Amino acid sequence: MNSEIEEIKSRLNIVDVISNYIKLEKAGINYRARCPFHDEKSASFFVSPSRQIWHCFGGCNEGGDVFKFVMKIEGIEFYDALKLLANRAGVELKHSKEWKKEKNQRQILLDLSEKACLFFEYQLEKSKKGLEAKEYLLNRGLKKDTIKKWRIGYAPDTWQGLSDFLISRGFNREDIIKAGLAIQKDKMFDRFRGRIMFPITGFNSEAIGFTGRIFGKDEKDEAKYLNSPATILYDKSKAIYGIDKAKVEIRRKDFCVLVEGNVDCIMSHQAGIDNCIATSGTALTNLHLNIIKRYSKKLVLAFDMDSAGNKATEKAIEMADEFEIKVVPRSQDKDPADIILKEGEEVWKKMIEKSKPISDFFFELALFDRDTKVIEDKKKILKEFLPRVKKMENAIEQSYWIEKLVDTLKIKEDDIRKELKKINIQKQEIEEKECFVDKKTRRQMIEEKILALVIKKRDRINLLKDFTLFSSPFKEVLEKIKENKEITFEELKEEFKDNFNFLSYIFLKSEVIEETEEDEEFKMCVFEIENLIIKEKQQNLHLEIRELEKQGDSAKVKALLEEFKNLIKYEENNQKKACFKKETSKEGDKEEASKESDKEKETSKEGDKEEASKESDKEKETSKEGDEENSKSYKAKEEEKES
């Protein structure tokens, strides 16, 4: 399989593949974009055509080859990505035993799901209870062609009806359970019983799971809706109901209508709104949004118009902040299916056309079920809506909503602005450190930066005196660069065959480092890693001293305390050196600027020297005072350590 993977990589350019999903811009020898896997304002996602890799240097810290990218953005497993890219590259796959086993298992579950779908469809059309379920669907407004198109069926209220059917068709019990169609306890029994069945399909309309709505039984005894469990086919955090039927229209119309329920989605399609999809009874996830984003970045939210639906809408707005969002206006009816059934398809279409911006939604939500003449309700409205106004960055938009509040609540504008000033909204921008998928220690991040800066400018290797400060493989790579400053990526790749991904990442990092920060950054990184090593040694000594004190070994304790003091002195000297270097660097910058500005002013040179001399005298005085203070501080620190 490795030869096939390499052949696919050789035929495909990673830049072309990724460009099909996101817009890339040239950045030197590489390409950059805003990362598609996390929210960010500046572009930190880089693609290297020379190494055929990508990496996000921002919040998510994700990276890899073309396969990893397709897996992540499509939300699929490796073998699916391999098949997809093989088709694109024109490579015929000769599968290994492992591949065949995985593919066979997947195909078996797909076959099982298809047979189950046929079984449910048959039961809806032929069984007595199934015909009752069909009549119920027709009364709910679904047409016969719609029921057939969406392959709606019925699961009989028997313990092993489906299982017995599948076993009779040659499937084994273990696979039926793996497909999520049956449950094994003391006996094996069907998961779905006495339910109207809605198949959940993948991108190619293949059945990957099911949603079952209870029918003919008391809803108090069982859950109204029941979904398939997680299988190798079905993951509720990725699955989108109706995506196979809506994806082309979403792209064509450049917006997506998102509803909650399966029937809401089906009825919307029946009404001609064929760019509609549903979350299918689960909360909206970032994986759902990543899939939707492939087709459009415009969303119309049409969740149920009850308190739960309002909360779901609020959460969706917060999550989908990079989308252009509108919300369907409120109605007396609870959900889209009821609106279509009671008020008609044209009314639902017009409601979608008249979808409002999110600020209108929050304003109406604040007013909902409240009396604008009652003082307590006025206070509640302001409490809910003013924080939204505070977050608005546009002053014109803010003024518009303040005037709206003045007109609606009959409150003076000055009073509203006073209340607005009281609100303290902290900008809740995503902290990149909290988004790390693969968290690194501070030391690892510093080692990465040092190695990347050395690769960018090889002479910096001379500033590193002690390679034992670094962990593996940083230490070994730095030593190779020390031996040969001209060593290339290809040569290093041969030396460190097991660390190809690491080297590719570091070399890409070296290419994207900003020029302005290089030298100062390098000095600070070296200083910080030295301090980190000292702190590690101090912690280890501290633990060792405590253990020896318990044992009563005073001689060794004394020796280690002396070593501990020396480390403190070394740390303080390091800090002094760092401060001195920083001041020297600043003075050097001042002198350089002075020389450039005085090229045409020869007569001012003497005056500048005198001024510089005065500054030097002042610095000496300050330095003496600082030394005295440091000495006092150090003695106090020593006394504290002694105690």
Distance CA(32)–CA(46), nearest Å, equals 4
Query: What does the pLDDT average to over 591-614?
Result: 51
Band of residue 623 on the pLDDT scale cut at 50, 70, 90 = very low
How far are the Cα atoms of 259, 326, 331 from residue 304, in angstroms, in the given order? Answer: 8, 15, 10
Bridge partner list, 569: none
Bond into 473 cis (ω within 30): yes
Cβ-based neighbours of 160, under 8 Å, separated by 6 or more: 188, 189, 190
Closest CA to 198 of 250, 245, 166: 245
Share the mean pLDDT of the chain: 82
Condensed to tens digits (0 to 9), the pLDDT of residues 254-295 reads: 899 999 999 999 999 999 999 999 987 678 998 899 889 888
Listed in sequence order, the residues at least 6 apart from 570 whose beta carbon sits closer than 8 Å to its beta carbon are 534
Q: Please give the single-letter amino acid code of residue 371.
A: D
Residues 105, 101: Cα–Cα separation, whole Å: 6
Among 88-97, 175-184, 451-460, 486-495, which is the least confidently predicted range?
Answer: 88-97
Among candidates 299, 305, 296, which has minimal Cα distance to 250?
296
Amino acid identity for residue 4 in this structure:
E
Is 438's pLDDT higher than 50? no
Helices and strands: H and E segment counts in the chain: 27, 16
Give the pLDDT of residue 68: 92
Q: Which residues pair with 207 in a beta bridge?
A: 201
- State yes or no: pLDDT of 168 exceeds 90: yes
Q: Tell whether the model's pLDDT for residue 568 goes beyond 80.
A: no
pLDDT of residue 611: 52
pTM: 0.57
93 vs 612, more confident: 93
Which pLDDT belongs to residue 638? 44
Average pLDDT over residues 492-496: 83
Residue 270 and residue 246 in contact, taking contact as beta carbons nearer than 8 Å: no
DSSP 46: E
Mean pLDDT of 558-562: 79
| Across 300-308, average pLDDT | 86
Exposed / middle / buried, residue 195 (Cβ in 10 Å: 0-12, 13-18, 19+): buried
- Confidence bin at 515 (pLDDT 50/70/90): low
pLDDT tens digits, 179-230? 999 999 989 999 999 999 999 999 889 999 999 999 988 777 788 999 999 9
Q: What is the separation of C-alpha 326 from the centre of its chain, rounded to a whole number of angstroms?
A: 23
Model pLDDT, residue 397: 92
Q: Taking 80 as the threshold, does the pLDDT of residue 509 lie above it?
A: yes
State pLDDT tens for residues 9-52: 999 999 999 998 888 999 989 999 988 887 677 888 999 999 99
Determine what percent of the chain is predicted with pLDDT higher than 70: 82
Predicted pLDDT of residue 642: 46
User: What pLDDT band is residue 304 in, cutting at 50, 70 and 90?
Assistant: confident
Beta bridge partners of 199: 210
To the nearest 10°, the Cα dihedral for 111, 112, 117, 119?
120
| Three-state DSSP class for residue 52 | coil
Residue 453 has pLDDT above 80, yes or no: yes
Q: Which amino acid is at 220?
A: K
Binned at pLDDT 50, 70 and 90, residue 433 comes out as: very low
Up-side HSE of residue 72: CA atoms within 13 Å toward CB? Answer: 19
CA 152 to chain centre: 35
Mean pLDDT, rounded, for 328-346: 87
By percentage, how much of the chain surpasses pLDDT 90?
A: 44
CA 280 to each of CA 198, 225, 264, 514: distance values in angstroms, whole numbers, following the listed order: 10, 10, 10, 46
**CA pair distance 155, 226, nearest whole angstrom:** 12
Per-residue pLDDT band at 427 (split at 50, 70, 90)? very low
**Half-sphere exposure of residue 57: CA atoms within 13 angstroms, side-chain side:** 24
- Binning pLDDT at 50, 70 and 90, where does residue 130 land? very high
Structure confidence at residue 96 as a pLDDT band (50, 70, 90) = low
- pLDDT at position 91 is 86
Is the pLDDT reported for residue 90 higher than 50? yes
pLDDT, one tens digit per residue, over 338-375 is 999 999 999 999 999 999 999 999 999 999 889 999 99
CA distance 395 to 392: 7
> Poorest-confidence range of 95-99, 237-241, 432-436?
432-436
Greater confidence (501 vs 68) lies with 68
* Per-residue pLDDT band at 435 (split at 50, 70, 90): very low
Give residue 216's pLDDT.
87
Facing residues of 26 across strands? 31
pLDDT at 591: 53
The reported pLDDT for the residue numbered 341 is: 93
pLDDT of residue 30: 93
Q: What pLDDT score does 604 carry?
A: 47
d(CA 578, CA 530): 11
The mean per-residue pLDDT over the stretch 598-621 comes to 50
Cα gap 570→465, rounded to integer Å: 16
What structural domains does the chain harbor? 2-89 (3.90.580.10), 101-234 (3.90.980.10), 370-422 (no CATH)
Residue 148 scores a pLDDT above 50:
yes
CA distances from 9 to 6, 49, 244, 302 (A): 5, 11, 28, 42
What is the helix (H) or strand (E) element at residue 424, kind and residue range? none
pLDDT bucket at 95, cuts 50 / 70 / 90: low
